[in-house]
Structure 1
């Protein structure tokens, strides 16, 4: 009889742990879905290994980049750096505008 009671107790603990794990996983997925829905495409630029990189990036409200597409990459010492940067920035902003048109509305 004690063996059966012990077995039932162990099974109950295992079931409880499985239910808690499933609930935590579901909550994490809901949070990730909410953050992803709030993400927006933005122009982004940075220096990397002596080059300027201009991109359009899908960015969460906390600043985490989900996806990124390079618009242009050029040497930091390029004679036409300013013109290339402004042109790439304009193109990245144009792409972000059009990509955001397909994103769901952010509700307050």
Structure 2
């Protein structure tokens, strides 16, 4: 009877290990499809006293996890620039337009 209990316990442990590996490995298998469906997005960030306006190609998993696959800097604006707001607004518009263009259909068909 003890041998049967040990066999059942070993099978349950093996099943749990396989289930955990399958569950944890799922996102790794989803990345290729997410990268193929990646989209360009406009973004901005403040780093070291400078605001960077960028366009990024971003892949997203259903879980919300993201990877940046590419990035193009539109403009870097010093935080203390007197025309910061005007430059930021113009750069955001350029980034938005560029993301639309990059996500659009190819002109070559």
Q: CA deviation at 1:47?
A: 0.5
What does 1:8-47 correspond to in 2, within 5 Å?
31-47=30-46
Say whether 1:65 aligns with 2:68. Answer: yes
Structure 1 portions without partners, runs of 5+: 1-26, 104-108
Q: Residue 8 of structure 1 corresponds to which residue in structure 2?
A: none
Say whether 1:87 aligns with 2:101. Answer: no
Q: CA deviation at 1:28?
A: 8.1
Q: CA deviation at 1:102?
A: 3.9
Q: Residue 56 of structure 1 corresponds to which residue in structure 2?
A: 55
Q: How many residues align?
A: 77
What is the TM-score with the length of structure 1 in the denominator? 0.64
Q: CA deviation at 1:63?
A: 3.0
The 1-side partners of 2:99 and 2:69 are apart by 14
Structure 2 portions without partners, runs of 5+: 1-25
Measured on the aligned residues, the alpha-carbon RMSD in Å equals 2.1
* Moved >6 Å (runs of 4+): none
What is the TM-score with the length of structure 2 in the denominator? 0.63
